[in-house]
Amino acid sequence: MELGVGGSNPPCCTKTMVKEKKLKPELASGFTDRKGNELILKDRLIEIIKRNFQLYGFEPLETPGFEISENIGKFLPDEDRPMSGVFGFKDDKNWMSLRYDLTAPLARYFAANENLISKPFKRYQVGTVWRNEKPGPGRFREFIQLDADIVGTKNVSADAEMCVLLADTLNKCGLDKSEYVIKVSNRKLIQGVLEDCKITNESKKITVIRAADKLYRLGIEGVKELLGKGRKDKSGDFTKGAGLTDNQIMGIINFLKIDEISKPVNVAEELVSIIEALSPSLTYKEGMNELSQVFELTKLSKFSDQIIFSPSVVRGIEYYTGTIFEANLLFKVRNKKGEQVEFGSVGGGGRYDDLVSRFTKSTYPATGVSIGLDRLLYAISQKKDKKIKENNPVVICVFDKKKMPEYNKLLSLLRSSNINSEIYCGDGNLKAQMKYADKRNAPAVILYGDNEIKAGVVTIKNLKIGKKVSTEVKTREDWTSSSTTQATVEVKDLVNEIKKII
């Protein structure tokens, strides 16, 4: 067992240390805080996506953050990278790891409940995953995935359903059909090309696939380097290449390049010419045949134009065996420097027929989709039409603590009408209370002083149109004289007046 604090090895915050010096409130490297409207939008996206997964007949599952290490194995795309990997602990009995995706735990769950659950098993899961990778700008070691999978069938209609589900989900999240495509291919295509190129070593095959997966980010030249001797990145880190011959490299590159000449190809018949042109391999032909069946089905959906063939999609994860796909945004987004950049994938998935049989005697072919929530959230939050409902509270000012019963009456009126609201709970005077309301972007503040209480009225200050004024206020008199954004109404009209403002 390892103890981060409280054990004997690591540094620990003791009373003495606190007295000596203050702690620095830093984040651990590769992690971030999130707040405010971003989280409100995030919750809404999760709700939309979950609802759509249910609509498609998936049931919820939740597996724990930790799994026994050998059970989830390691099929990450980036294990060639320095510092890559998972977070692991030695327990009394086993090595445990924080999950790096939701698919490997699903295989474990399915196997453990093999005889109890309906097959095909359709489940969705929303969960945090962790990767112990080298952190970088925008590259976090903790993120949320939303997955839907079907385990226990090799039926191609399950693959087609995944592509349609992904297209429909993005649409329901607020993306217009013109703003994204689902690029579909089949792992057997590149496997066939590997056969053609006489690349037979399993580990070399994976190196090639991972290199090809980086086409979008590194371009043709970068992939060529990774297929050959290797590549040095901007930071100076060197990634060893697959060591292919020039002819082998050309074979792979020619395959990846079809994308440029064949787009858009989303009608099954058009695939035939490409099949014949490119590879004599049986594996390749099998892949093209499956693809053709997938497109027969996806063209029946509302998203026939969004779901397109793209051979350059190879997916870096090792366990895929058939249909593979990725969702790509067609609009550019701004990065932190304000530059317009291509965004890349917000989700993807594919068929993995051998993952469950690591545990079971029977084989359980499976297929699934995973949506990267943080990336999707970032892209969608850049769209101007995504307005978030005002969530900040109306603030009732405190003139006199003895009048708390009166303030509470107003509070009850507001809250029972489902209006976010609070009595100021700090220790400041009226000026401080105004500043507080302003800083919180409160839609309104409520003044209920002695005069108002006697007269049965309440004064409402609309901060939405009076933001500037409120910060200059020092006294009650200042406030009433300086503003045209106030209204004094009868207590019984309070709720309606506030509703007009928010």
Interface of this chain with a second copy, residues 408 to 437, rule: CB under 8 A: 408, 412, 415, 418-423, 425-427, 436
Q: Tell the smallest beta-carbon distance from residue 79 to a second copy (Å).
A: 6
Binding positions for a second copy, 190-219, rule CB under 8 A: 202
Judged by CB under 8 A, the number of residues near a second copy is 127
CB burial class (10 A; 0-12, 13-18, 19+) of residue 300? exposed
How many other C-beta atoms are found inside a 10 Å radius of the C-beta of residue 282?
Answer: 11
Binding positions for a second copy, 317-346, rule CB under 8 A: none
What would the x/- binding string for a second copy be over residues 56 to 95, using CB under 8 A?
Answer: xx-xxxxxxxxxxxxxxxx----x---xxxxxxxxxxxxx
**Cα–Cα distance for residue pair 11/425, rounded to 1 Å:** 37
Cβ distance to a second copy smaller for residue 89 or 238: 89
Give the burial string for 318-355 (b: 16+ CB within 10 Å, else e).
Answer: bbbbbbbbbbbbeeebeeeeeeeeebebbbbbbbbbeb
Cβ-contact 250, 244 below 8 angstroms: no
**Stretch in the footprint of a second copy (CB under 8 A) among 6-14, 225-233, 449-457, 494-502:** 6-14
Q: Tell the smallest beta-carbon distance from residue 418 to a second copy (Å).
A: 7
Q: Which residues contact 128 (CB under 8 A, 6 or more apart)?
A: 65, 142, 143, 144
**Cα–Cα distance for residue pair 15/328, rounded to 1 Å:** 52
Q: Distance between alpha carbon 437 and the CA centroid of its chain, in Å?
A: 32
Site for a second copy contains 2 (CB under 8 A): yes
Strands 180-186 and 230-232: unpaired
Which residue type, as a one-letter code, is found at position 242?
A
Cβ distance to a second copy smaller for residue 279 or 421: 421
**Cα–Cα distance for residue pair 453/345, rounded to 1 Å:** 59
Binding positions for a second copy, 32-51, rule CB under 8 A: 32-36, 39-40, 43, 47, 50
Which one of 44, 48, 81, 119 is in contact with a second copy (CB under 8 A)? 119
Cβ distance to a second copy smaller for residue 109 or 399: 109
Q: Tell the smallest beta-carbon distance from residue 13 to a second copy (Å).
A: 4
Question: CA 67, 73, 75 angle in degrees (round to 5)?
Answer: 125
Cβ distance to a second copy smaller for residue 162 or 223: 162
Binding positions for a second copy, 125-154, rule CB under 8 A: 128, 130, 132, 141-142, 150, 152-154
Binding positions for a second copy, 355-394, rule CB under 8 A: 358-361, 391-393
Site for a second copy contains 122 (CB under 8 A): yes
